[in-house]
Amino acid sequence: MKGKMKNKNKQFGNGLSFPKHLTPEIIHSALFVHNAPTKEDIIKRVEHCAKLIGDEAMQYAMALLILPHLVDSTRQSDDYQDWLDDRSKHMN
């Protein structure tokens, strides 16, 4: 069933069960795209991986790639700063 994500958790030969958004194929696809030398190669690699693992799995791989940006954006938000201030008040 190439290109389709059937189960919620995927079982692998080593007995490990992965959530569908963190399977080795998704992580490997994210690394393959991340290590592309040029923007043109990134586009080619995204298209190639999407054909291999399917659109839903590729969405998860792309989400892994933008995670550092989302963390940085969150740290700069007012809500996060308010949470930090509130947390430090409760700890002291």
Task: Share the mean pLDDT of the chain.
Answer: 88
Report which of residues 47 and 14 the model is more confident about.
47
Are 30 and 61 spatial neighbours (Cβ–Cβ below 8 Å)?
A: yes
49 falls in which pLDDT band (50, 70, 90)?
A: very high
Q: Where is 70: in which H helix or E strand?
A: helix 55-75
The whole-number pLDDT of residue 8 equals 56
1 falls in which pLDDT band (50, 70, 90)?
A: very low
Report which of residues 70 and 15 the model is more confident about.
70
Computed on alpha carbons and rounded to an integer, the radius of gyration of the chain in Å comes to: 18
